[in-house]
Amino acid sequence: MNVILNGKEFLLDKKISLNNFLITHNINTNNIVVEINGSIITKSLWDEYVLKENDKIEIVTAVGGG
Amino acid sequence: MSFLLNKKTYNSRLIIGSGKYKSFKQTKKALDASGAEIITVAIKRTNLGQETTQENLLDYINPNDYKILPNTAGCYSAKDAIRVSLLARELLGDSLLKLEVLADKHTLLPNENETFVAAKELVKLGFSIMVYTTDNIKLAKDLEEVGCISVMPLASPIGTGQGIVKPENIKKIIKNAKVPIIIDAGIGTASDATIAMEMGCDGVLLNSAIAMSDNPILMAEAMKYAVISGRKAFEAKRMGISDSAIPSSNKKDAIS
């Protein structure tokens, strides 16, 4: 199963929750927002959201800007 | 000196950006030297493959100590700006936003139509919008009328440091406005910020002028005083300009 994270393709060998996916990929979960297929997934739902084939995941944070 | 923005009183009329600094540490030092209470941030994709211990800007600039003003930098359409706005609100738990919709990557000038469309929609979605715009007098008023809480015309294009190119337009925008007018972009040095404040701008938003100077901490401090100085001069109301010289001392006590 493939998912796309911030424009890059990732191959998953089994069903996995969004939360476990973030942990497995060493993503600092403080100060981030996750959007899947254009909809924001609130932090409280990360555990119950199971990734699906071709999910387009965007992880954003605050960076320097004017 | 203080001013009211989105029902909150701020002591500093200077808003600074957090881009282009050498490190988060330098960003924080400049922020503190500037006395600014509001700092802008951009909302972008995280770097993947980073260590979970890698620092984040918000670890340095604590949202409990400063007002974090997220922007929609990098957006060229109303649709994209609205998407980024929703992400920003989720991240920071606040509806205050700097709306910025650009026309193209070269001029970095605001896209007037898309900015207006996005502003209207975001106000409906409950956002408090501070809108980056051109020095178009009519558009500035239209943005106020659709409910933006502050209108922020450019002095000159982003990152150019040219100062206020069309002061007559900015003056007219201020005269027409019922919401705070904040100069955003194009400030090059302290005197540019003072000029903006002397004209009657309610505040100044700048980034490169501090971050791209040789000594950002010192320039941050210069900007702090420049904005205070300009505001005091505006409140004091300057003397008139005369075509002929007028002596400073009284004529009748002259020795000869």
CB contact (8 A) between residue B91 and residue A33: yes
By the 10 Å C-beta count (0-12 exposed, 13-18 middle, 19+ buried), B119 is classed as buried
Cβ distance B54 to A28 less than 8 Å, yes or no, reads yes
Asked if B18 lies within 8 A of A25 by C-beta distance, the reply is: no
Looking at the predicted complex, does its ipTM rise above 0.85?
yes
Whether the CA torsion B120, B121, B122, B126 is positive or negative: it is positive
Could you tell me which chain B residue has the CA closest to the CA of A28?
B52
Number of Cβ atoms within 10 Å of the Cβ of B168: 10
Chain segment B59-85, per-residue pLDDT in tens: 899 888 999 999 999 999 999 999 999
Active-site amino acid positions of B: 98
* Distance between CA atoms of residues B183 and B204, nearest Å: 5
Helix (H, G, I), strand (E, B) or coil at B52: coil
pLDDT tens sequence across B177-209: 999 999 999 999 999 999 999 999 999 999 999
Q: Out of A4-8, B100-104, B201-205, which region has the weakest mean confidence (pLDDT)?
A: A4-8
Whether A25 and B90 lie within 8 Å, measured CB to CB: no
pLDDT digit string (tens) for B128-185? Answer: 999 999 999 999 999 999 999 999 999 999 999 999 999 999 999 999 999 999 999 9
- DSSP character at residue B240: P
Of the candidates B256, B239, B229, the one whose C-alpha atom is nearest the C-alpha of residue B248 is: B239
Nearest to A40 among B18, B58, B90 (CB): B90
pLDDT band, residue A28 (cuts 50/70/90): confident
Pairing mode of beta strands A56-64, A39-41:
unpaired
Contact of A11 with chain B, judged by CB distance below 8 Å, is answered with no
**Minimum CA–CA partner of A35 in chain B:** B87
User: Nearest-CA neighbor of B92 among B138, B143, B38?
Assistant: B38
CA dihedral A33, A38, A39, A44 (to 10 degrees): -30
Helix (DSSP H) and strand (DSSP E) numbers for chain B: 9, 10
For B207, the token pair is: 């980034």
Q: Is the model's pLDDT at A24 over the cut of 60?
A: yes
Give the residue-averaged pLDDT of B241-251.
89
Residues of B in contact with A37 (CB under 8 A): none
Q: How far is Cα A3 from Cα B138, in angstroms, rounded to an integer?
A: 47
